Amino acid sequence: MSNMNLTLKIWRQNGPDDKGKMVEYKVSDISEHMSFLEMMDVLNEQLIAKGEDPVAFDHDCREGICGMCSMFINGEAHGPDRAITTCQLHMRTFNDGDTIYIEPWRAKAFPVIKDLMVDRSAFDRIQHAGGYISVNTSGNTQDANALPIAKAAADEAMDAATCIGCGACVATCKNSSAMLFVGAKVSQYALLPQGQVEAAERVKNMVEQMDLEGFGNCTNTGACEVECPKGISLENIARMNRELFKSMVAG
């Protein structure tokens, strides 16, 4: 395939209080081997050369691990491909002459900082509310292998723990619900013996914080698990629902 000429419609917003609007840009000679973020870099170099303000977007590792890149591309979180982050999205997914819509995650709990960057600190506050275990690490930690864990439980916990907290679940959910994220974070401890001690308090506190942040309610549409770059399953939400029920019954 020859290189592509593309029309980009990008959300531009100067700051949290700015109204913001979609602005059209043209980029040309985009290689199919570029990642989506590299294409954005090309655009920003163009804008800087013209003395314009480059488009602000979050990015860090650019290898699908850090959870920083976001972007709602052509109506889907992390774009049209599956099980990838925006940095892993390649331009070969698009065709010459395409128009690409690029928007920030939309949620009341994720306010726009600038352009395509949103404030995802609501996720941090949910983690602070209970997404940890209390361990004394002052030189006398026990050997990890001293505690037997079933392979199946370890695998499932690891599957849940692969959540990178990017927020695609919230962005893609029609209700801006954070249930997949919180479900994964609750599950990764609920499945392991180390998580049992604080299990009841953890799920109650994390759900309470999630509600306080203004995320919507889960209606089980399943859109989150489809768009999740790490393939986090809806079963984690069901597990969280069970965990919360257990914590309520137990007091």
Partner 1 sequence: MSASASIFQSSIAKKYWMAISGLFLMIFLLQHFAINFLSVISPDLFNEVSHFMGTNPLVQFGLQPVLMFGVIYHLAMGIRLDMQNRAARPTKYAYEKPGESSTWMSRNMIITGLTIFAFLGLHFYDFWIPEITTKYVAGDISGLNAHGEYRYFEELVHKMSDPIRVGIYCVSFVLLALHLMHGFQSAFQSIGARVGKYKNLIIGLGKAYAIAVPAGFIVIALFHLITH
Site of interaction with partner 1 (CB under 8 A): 9, 11, 22, 72, 74-76, 80, 101, 103, 106-109, 172, 174-177, 204-205, 207-208, 210-211, 214-223, 226-227, 234-235, 237-242, 244-245, 248, 251
Amino acid at 206: M
Both tokens of 54, joined, read 């480059």
- Per the CB < 8 A criterion, the answer to whether 3 and 29 are in contact is yes
CB of 102 to partner 1, least distance (A): 9
> Nearer Cβ to partner 1, position 46 or 205?
205
| Cβ-based burial of 98 (10 A; exposed 0-12, middle 13-18, buried ≥19) | middle
For residues 70, 74, 76, 78, the Cα torsion angle rounded to the nearest 10 degrees is: -30
CB of 76 to partner 1, least distance (A): 6
CB of 97 vs partner 1, minimal distance in Å: 17
Nearest to 199 by CA among 162, 233, 249: 249
CB of 204 to partner 1, least distance (A): 6
Which CB sits closer to partner 1, 58 or 103?
A: 103
In this complex, which beta carbon is closest to partner 1, that of residue 162 or of residue 241?
A: 241
Smaller CB separation from partner 1, 31 or 175: 175
Please report the sign of the dihedral spanned by the C-alpha atoms of residue 209, residue 175, residue 233, residue 118.
negative
Q: Which residue, 31 or 74, is less far from partner 1 as judged by CB?
A: 74
What's the token pair of residue 226? 């489809």
